[in-house]
Amino acid sequence: MTTTDILYQIRDLVVEYNTRAGVLTAVDHVSFDIHRGEVLGLVGESGCGKSTLGKALMRMIQEPGRITGGELWFDGVDLMQLSPGEMRKLRGSRISMIFQDPMTSLNPVQRVVEHITETIRVHEPHVSIKAARARAAELVDRLGINRNRLDDYPHQLSGGMRQRVMISLALALRADLVIADEATTSLDVIVEAQFLDLLKELREEFNLTILLITHSIGLVAELADRVAVMYAGRMAELADIHELFEQPQHPYTRGLLRAVPNIRLEDDELYKMPGSPPDLVSPPSGCRFHPRCPEASEICSRQAPTFHEHRPGHFINCWLYQEQEESVSLEASS
């Protein structure tokens, strides 16, 4: 990967929520790139900020949350500079999202087809209802839903079918980037497997770039080209999938991978990471993982490491792989 085509550059993104207990930093100075045509897996425990990050990429953070810093360079444009109206036009047409729960993500009193035609026509107002319907029919055919079901209401469809409808909505305008937020969490394993196969096919066909947000390491292993690991609002590690699985560097990544149940697990008991994720209103000083880290040293509690490229294409946020002096200068400059 020498001449990588970057679709989305995220720089120093900060998302904060005003809560009763104080300001909660859900995403804390996160920077990474999404390459065109790749599937980037984003993993982490519940509450690590991965869903918030996904929403922030579409500038969909709702009150009491707010993006308080950073730049979002999508295909050469800083989305932070766009007006709300311009941003709205981008949503659904260039960046789209597949949600966690297909049961609740469709309007219960609206027919399936209206969801699709409405989405097409809000972005392409000149398209007639008839033409939009024809496109909707083609689309659902491709996704393996009988076009006769278009006039059904969401509650008349099965979970798997609804998730296909969600995909068809995300693809209706051939978005460049699809953000799948826990898209399989509510599906059973068989439907999940079908969903994965479908996503793999569509990826080739539609030349999709996918940000796959999930807590399932298995799903990432199945689909992703690269993996980003988040911990307590910060990036911990980002690398090529094979490299990350074979040589995880960050102590948190190592713990996370050891905690994945394995059907061939024989004598080893499943690893339990000690402690629990920190409170993001008053997070630990220095590296946020240090209270749970088996390899923490004195500096870890004093100063946060920086997220840097340790090896080409392998980013890491840990003192084990960072010279202290180098980081001091970086911290001072930022």
Tell me which of 51, 105, 209, 317 binds another protein, using CB under 8 A: 105
| CB closer to another protein, 102 vs 248 | 102
Report how far Cα 92 is from the mean position of its chain's Cα atoms: 16
Residue 108 in contact with another protein, rule: CB under 8 A: yes
Q: Which is nearer to another protein, 26 or 229 (by Cβ)?
A: 26
Q: Phi then psi for 254, rounded to 5 degrees?
A: -60, -45
Determine which residue in the list 5, 12, 78, 155 makes contact with another protein, applying CB under 8 A. Answer: 155
Residue 172 contacts residue 119 (beta carbons within 8 Å): yes
What HEC string does the chain produce?
Answer: CCCCCEEEEEEEEEEEEEECCEEEEEEEEEEEEEECCCEEEEECCCCCCHHHHHHHCCCCCCCCEEEEEEEEEECCEEHHHCCHHHHHHHECCCEEEECCCCCCCCCCCCCHHHHHHHHHHHHCCCCCHHHHHHHHHHHHHHCCCCHHHHHCCHHHCCHHHHHHHHHHHHHCCCCCEEEEECCCCCCCHHHHHHHHHHHHHHHHHHCCEEEEEECCHHHHHHHCCEEEEEECCEEEEEEEHHHHHHCCCCHHHHHHHHCCCCCCCCCCCCCCCCCCCCCCCCCCCCCCCHHHCCCCCHHHHHCCCCCEEEECCEEECCHHHCCHHHHHHHHHHC
Judged by CB under 8 A, does residue 147 bind another protein? no
308 touches another protein (CB under 8 A): no
Is 92 one of the binding residues for another protein (CB under 8 A)? yes
**Per residue, what are the HEC states of 115-135?**
HHHHHHHHHCCCCCHHHHHHH
Binding mask 167-186 for another protein (x = CB under 8 A): --x-----------------
Residue number with CB closer to another protein (122 or 134)? 122
Among residues 122 and 221, whose Cβ is nearest to another protein? 122
Total residues in contact with another protein, by rule CB under 8 A: 30
Q: Which stretch binds another protein (CB under 8 A): 54-62, 205-213, 287-295, 301-309?
A: 54-62
282 sits near another protein (criterion: CB under 8 A): no
Is residue 90 a contact residue for another protein (CB under 8 A)?
A: yes
Residue 92 or 233 having the CB closest to another protein: 92
- Taking residues 252 to 271 in sequence order and writing x for each that binds another protein by CB under 8 A, - otherwise, the string is --------------------
**Strand 226-231 relative to strand 39-43: parallel, antiparallel, unpaired?**
parallel
- Residue 154 or 233 with smaller CB distance to another protein: 154
Query: Which residue number, 61 or 318, has a Cβ lying nearer to another protein?
Result: 61
Q: Is 214 a binder of another protein (CB under 8 A)?
A: no
Closest by Cα among 106, 111, 76 to 94: 76
Interface with another protein, residue 88, by CB under 8 A: yes
Stretch that binds another protein, among 4-12, 56-64, 223-231, 265-273 (CB under 8 A): 56-64
Taking CB under 8 A as the binding criterion, the range among 86-94, 193-201, 233-241, 320-328 that sits at the site for another protein is 86-94
Question: Using the rule CB under 8 A, which residue among 60, 127, 191, 257 binds another protein?
Answer: 60
Among 10, 106, 177, 244, interactor with another protein by CB under 8 A: 106
Q: Which residues bind another protein (CB under 8 A)?
A: 58, 60, 62, 88-93, 96-97, 99-101, 104-110, 118-119, 122-123, 153, 155-156, 166, 169
